[in-house]
Amino acid sequence: EKKLAVAFRGRKLRSATSYADKNAKEWFAENFSLYHNNKKDLCDPVFIDFLEGIQNDLIWRSWQHIAKKGIIR
């Protein structure tokens, strides 16, 4: 939630709906819906960076876990 709050503060008020500007959680929900309904052109660019950062972090952690278990070398 801390990363979400930082991303929300860093946005450029390019929300697709006025409701998305209400708070960080609504901003996330509105942008997440657009993103996963293949309407990325309507998403706040800050949201896309935020979401892709989370995805990259999860991938990196998964690789670290696999490497520690000796599954791959």
pLDDT digits (tens, 9 = 90+) for 17-64: 777 777 888 888 898 999 999 999 998 888 888 888 888 777 666 766
Structure tokens at 48: 């896309």
C-beta of residue 16 within 8 angstroms of C-beta of residue 30 = yes
- Residue 7's pLDDT is what? 64
Q: Is the pLDDT of residue 73 over 60?
A: no
Give the span between the Cα atoms of 62 and 36, in whole angstroms: 23
**pLDDT of the residue at 34:** 92
19 Cβ contact list (under 8 Å, min separation 6): 26, 30
Q: What is the mean pLDDT of residues 6-14?
A: 64
Amino acid 71: pLDDT:
64
In the chain the first and final C-alpha atoms are separated, in Å, by 34
